[in-house]
Amino acid sequence: MFSTGRFRRLAAAVFLLCCVTETHAQTAPDTTLYRVFLRDGSTILSYGEYSRVADRLVMSLPVGTALHMLSIPSESVDWERTDAYAESVRATRYASTHGENDLAQLAEAVSRALGDISLVPDASKKIAMAVEARKNVMRWAAEHFGYGADRVAQMASLFDDIIAQAQQQSGVKNFDLSLVANMAAPPTTPLLPPPTEQENIEQALTAAMLSPEATERVSLLRAIQAALEGAGASASWATSVRSRAGAAIAIEERTTRSYDVMTRTTLQGAGRAARAADVTGVERFIRRAMAEDDRLGQRRPQEMASLLAMLDTNLDAARRLRLARDSWAMRVEGLKKFRAAITEPLSMMQMSKTQLDEIRRLAGPSPTRLARLVSRVTAVTKLLAVVAVPAEASAAHGLLKSAAQFAVQAAEGRQRAVMSGQMNQAWEAASAASGALMFLDRAVEELQQLSQPPAIQAPR
C-alpha cells in the first residue's frame, strides 16, 4: 500500500480484516437499523441493509418481535436521503466497532513508512515513495467512511513535509502536491433515535399500504394486529391502528374473493367461446376482465398477469380453430363427394369382415364363401383405384386401399392353402387377414374424423 513491500502486506492484511469484520458486523444479530425515506417525507425502519431488485426495494421490517420481508416500489423512495442516511449508519457502525483499531494500525504503518523513506538517499525516489504513501493514506480515509479524518489528515501532512524537504534537496520546482483539502470527510447526516412502539407500528402500516404484493400486505397487516395485542394494546393510539389494520384486511379479503370469482367466470366463458371458435367472444371476455381489474383498483397485478396469459392462450386457440373450420367449410363439398364415392367399396369391406376374421382364426370360410370373398375384395380394389381423392382425405383413402389389398392377399392365400393343405400358407393368409382388419378399422376412424368439423380442447 505504501512504499515498502512489508507495509503493503501489512496494509493488505488490515484491509482484509476490515472487510471481514465489517461484513460480520452487518450480519450479526445486533444488525443496525436503517431508515428508508419515502417521497412523502415519512420513513420506514429497515432491519439491516435493504436491497434494490429491479423496480423494487426489498427490506426486513421489524414489527414487534418479528421480522417481515417486504418489497415496495422504488419510485416511492427518496433515494438521495435514504442512501445518505445509510452511509451515516455504516460510518457510525464502523466507528463503534473497528474504526479505532484500524486507525491505530494505519498510524503504525505510516510510522514504518516514514522510517523506510528516511533511509532512502535519493531525493527523487524519496519524493515518489512519499507521494505514493500519501495517496494511500487519503484512499484509506475514503474507503473507511472518513473515519478520523483530522488525524488521517495529520498523517498525510507528514508526507507533505518529506516531499517539501526532498524538493529542496533535489531542486525540483512546481511540484503538485494535491494537498490535504481533498481528504474524505465522514458522513454528516444525523442518525434518528430508535422509533417508539407507536412509530414502529405506524411505519409498518404505511409500508403495508405501499407493497404491491397482496400476500405481503396481508401478512404484514396480521403481524400488526398480533403486535397490538402486546404492550401497546391498551394505548390510546392502538385502537385506531387496530381498526385501520382490520379494515385493510377486510378489504384485501373482499378483493381476493372478487378476483377469484372474476378469474373463474372469465376463464369458463372464454373457454366456451374458444371451443366454439368465437374469437370475438374471447376478446370480449378479455376486455371485461381488464375493466373489472380497473374497477377493483388493479390490486392484484400478478393474478391479472396470469389470467391474461391464460386468456391469450384461449384467444390463440379460438383463432386457430376459426381458421381450421373456415378451411374445412370450403372443402366440405369435396369431402361429401369422396364419401359418396367410397360408400360402396367401404360397405363391401364391412361385409367381408366376418370371412376375414375366420381366415385370421384359421376357421374357414367355406370354399363357396371364400370364392365370393375373393371376387368382392378384388372389386373393392378396382373401385378405390378410380376414386377422386381430395388432399385431406388421402390418409383415409390410403388406409382403405391397404385394407383391400391385404384382404385380397388373405382370400387368395386361403384358397392356395385349401388347395395344397399346407398350414404355413394358411398362417400367411391369417397374417394378411389381420392386417386387412386393422387397416379397415383405422380407415373407418379416419373417415369419421373427416365427417366432423375441426374441434379443440381449449384450456380451462
Residue 286 pLDDT class (50, 70, 90 cuts):
very high
Lowest-pLDDT range of 20-24, 33-37, 260-264, 293-297 = 20-24
Q: Is the pLDDT of residue 355 over 80?
A: yes
| Cα distance between residue 360 and residue 346, in whole Å | 20
Q: Report the chain's terminal Cα–Cα distance, integer Å.
A: 67
| Cα distance between residue 252 and residue 209, in whole Å | 11
Over residues 172-186, the mean pLDDT reads 58
Over residues 2-14, the mean pLDDT reads 39
Q: Helices marked H in 229-386 — which ranges?
A: 236-275, 279-295, 301-341, 343-351, 353-360, 367-385
Residue 454 pLDDT class (50, 70, 90 cuts):
confident
Tens digits of residue pLDDT in 375-406: 999 999 999 988 888 888 889 899 999 999 99
Contact 38, 78 (CB under 8 A): yes
Over residues 324-338, the mean pLDDT reads 82
What pLDDT was estimated at residue 1?
38
Lowest-pLDDT range of 32-41, 165-174, 243-252, 316-325 = 165-174
What pLDDT was estimated at residue 169?
77
- For residue 186, CA distances in Å to 21, 88, 99, 101, 216 come to 20, 8, 12, 17, 37
Nearest to 130, CA basis, from 147, 143, 117, 144: 117
- The H or E element containing residue 71 is strand 66-73
- The H or E element containing residue 70 is strand 66-73
Distance of CA 35 to the CA centre of its chain: 29
Q: Is the pLDDT of residue 171 over 60?
A: yes
Nearest to 205, CA basis, from 61, 35, 56, 78: 61
Over residues 115-126, the mean pLDDT reads 86
What pLDDT was estimated at residue 27?
35
Q: Is the pLDDT of residue 13 over 60?
A: no
Tens digits of residue pLDDT in 226-239: 888 865 556 778 88
Contact 328, 402 (CB under 8 A): no
Can you give the residue ranges of every domain in the chain?
Answer: 5-38+78-182, 256-330, 342-450
What pLDDT was estimated at residue 336?
83
- Burial level of 63, CB count in 10 A (0-12/13-18/19+)? buried
